[in-house]
Each structure stands twice: as C-alpha cells, then as structure tokens.
A = this chain, B = another copy of it.
Amino acid sequence: MKLPLLFTTFKKDLMVIERVIEEASSSQSAFMRETTGHLLKSGGKRIRPIFGMLCGKLGDYDIEKVKYPAAALELIHSASLAHDDVIDCASMRRGVATISAKWDNHVATYTGDYIFAHAMQLISQLNNPLAHQIVSKAIVEVCLGEIDQIHDKYRFDQSLRSYLRRIKRKTALLIAISGQLGAIAANVPASVHQNLYLFGYYVGMSFQITDDILDFTASEKELGKPAGSDLAQGNITLPTLYAMQDESLSKRIVEINATTDKLVLAQIIEDIRSSGAIEKSYALSQRYLNLAFAVLDRIPSKKQKKNLIEIANFIGKRTY
C-alpha cells in the first residue's frame, strides 16, 4: 500500500505539493530539466510532505504556506539521494538507472546541488528566519552523517551508538524537521512544534532501522536493488551489529572486505537473517515507535493524533 492512500483526505493538497516539486525541474536549462526531471520522476513515498501536512493541521493550516517546507524537504531528500549515488557508485535506485549511471558522477553532483539550492529557495518563501536556521542546521548534520558513513565503511569495531548517531543524521533529522516546519508554517506554538520534532525523530529512527532490516529480508524486486547491498558495500547496519554478538558469526563478518567472494557474502547474509538479529532489530525499531507514541501524549489535538499514530505505524512496521 502506498503511503498517500492512507491519507485520501490529503490527496488534493498532495497534488499541490507535487506541482511545487515538479517546478524544480522546469529550469531554463534544457539539460538541467532533463537531469532533474529524471531524478524527481523516480517517485518515492512522500513521507516528508505527508509529515509536514499532518503537523501543519495542528495550527492554522494553509496549503499555500505548508507546501513550501513540504516540497523543500522532499527535494533535499532527493538531492541527498543523487549525492548518495555518487558515493555508492550505485547503478539502480527505485528500479531505475541513477543519474550517475545515466550521465556521470559530475552531473549527479551538480544536479543534487541545484535541487538542494532550489529547496533552500522554497524555504525562503516562508520569510521565517527560524525555518532557515532549522533547515541549515539539519543539513549540516546530514552531511556529517554521510561523511561518517564513508569513514565507517568496513569498520566492524564501531559501536551501536555510532550507528544510531549516523541514522539520526542520515534519516531521522529530516523527518523530524519535516513535521516541525509544517507546524511552523501553520503558526503552531513552539512547545508543540518542538514535540512534533521529537515525534518525527523517533519515527525516523524506527523508519531507518526498518529500512536496514529490509535490506536483509526483502527481495530484489521489492527493494529495487540487490538484497544485502548494505553489507556488500561495507555499510554496517543494526542487523550486522547484533549478529556480531555471536562470536563465530562475528569472526566471519569482520573478514568481509570489498573483494569478498559473492557466494561467501550470500552465506553470511543468510546466517545473519537466521541469527535472531532481525528480530532484535525489529524490537529496537518498536521501542523507538513507543517513544514516538509517548511524545503524542503531550500533543493537544485528538483528531490529528490519530493520523500521526497511523503514519508512525505504517512507517515503522512496513514489511517492504
């Protein structure tokens, strides 16, 4: 089930946001129209815009204002994917060729930069210095997360804490500020939008942990890329860290490097799957969801709370 279908009441407003996103690829430069169009057409779950809208509903909701941060955060996410693909030398994303593969790494770099700058321009439409501060601070953290990820590749001695910090920076922060900025655009009071930030942060942690689990458990068709890609590329995620608590499995995992034989790798991935690490990972994902629900006790509106619980459950518990 696609996430937007959960929120049919938002369908019209989502279309407004889609149009703002599409405008990012209506550049004067024909070449840029082609590259950005390619990047943005590949779709996505639109989690960030939906978060923004749901949180905006807690205040003076006006789609003509909420659309700016909602579209901007989705664009920032897309820009980071373009740069991510430079990093991973990935050839497929969501089942289609990446920009790096279709053109080259250089085009991907500048297409990402452009989309990112366009997003900052959308944020500036809010005329709100706080929004600008929140976004730029978050993006600094996102970049730190990406650099950490490069640096931490194949470092099997990393702690659970550094994994959690990395996914906070890489994923949870942008989801957290999606909701907060949607709320700010609707003049929600600070005490409330700060709690919405926290809610989004916990949901985002749960979301990324689930994502990291699915990289082990889902099929290539469901993922749009080969299963086990994370470990194959040296990215050490929660299931691997938990699996390493088993001494004999740990000994085999720490031997993995960029030249490890595919069959050896496939066997290790299979063994991680059946080690209990997946179940433990799901349990941590659930703990973050519970923290998110606890935050909602501090939110006034009953009706919006129901929607927020729904999106949190959808995101945290999805099976593909």
- Do B140 and A117 touch (CB < 8 A)? yes
A contact patch SS: helix
Contact with B along A96-136 (1 / 0, CB 8 A): 00000000011101111110111011011011110011011
Q: Kindly report which residue of chain B lies nearest to residue A122, judged by CB atoms.
A: B136
Query: B124, A132: Cβ atoms under 8 Å?
Result: yes
Report yes or no: B29 in contact with A148, Cβ–Cβ below 8 A.
Answer: yes
Q: Which residues of B contact A118 (CB under 8 A)?
A: 136, 140
**Interface pair B133/A121, CB less than 8 Å apart:** yes
The CA-CA distance from A143 to B133 in the complex, in Å, is 22
Decide yes or no whether A221 CB sits under 8 A from chain B.
no
Contacts A136-B117, A136-B124 known; A147 to B83 CB distance under 8 Å? no
Is A26 engaged at the interface, CB distance under 8 Å to the other chain? no
Question: A3: CB under 8 A from chain B?
Answer: no
Contacts of A112 in B (CB 8 A): 109
Known: A32-B147, A83-B113, A150-B110. A140 touches B121 (CB 8 A): yes
Q: Given the complex of chains A and B, what is the CA–CA distance between A123 and B117 in angstroms?
A: 14
> Complex Cα distance A109/B142, Å?
13
Q: Are B117 and A147 in contact (CB under 8 A)?
A: no
CA of A117 to CA of B120, assembled, Å: 10
User: How far is it, in angstroms, between the C-alpha of A120 and the C-alpha of B114 when the chains are bound?
Assistant: 15
Contacts of A129 in B (CB 8 A): 124, 126-129, 132
- How many protomers of this protein does the assembly include? 2
User: Is A86 in contact with chain B by the CB < 8 A criterion?
Assistant: yes
Q: Are A144 and B109 in contact (CB under 8 A)?
A: no
A1-57 CB contacts (< 8 Å) to partner B: 27-29, 31-32, 35
Complex contact A144–B83 (CB within 8 A): no
Closest CB in chain B relative to A9 CB, distance in Å = 32
Q: CB distance B105 to A86 under 8 Å?
A: yes
**Alpha-carbon distance between A42 and B302 when the two chains are bound, in angstroms:** 56
- Whether A230 is near chain B, meaning CB under 8 Å from some CB there, is no
Contacting pair B31 A113 (CB below 8 A): no
Listed by A's residue number, 21 A-B pairs whose Cβ atoms lie within 8 Å are A28-B144, A31-B148, A35-B147, A83-B113, A86-B109, A87-B109, A109-B112, A110-B147, A113-B116, A114-B140, A114-B143, A114-B147, A117-B140, A118-B140, A120-B136, A124-B129, A124-B132, A124-B137, A126-B129, A127-B129, A129-B129
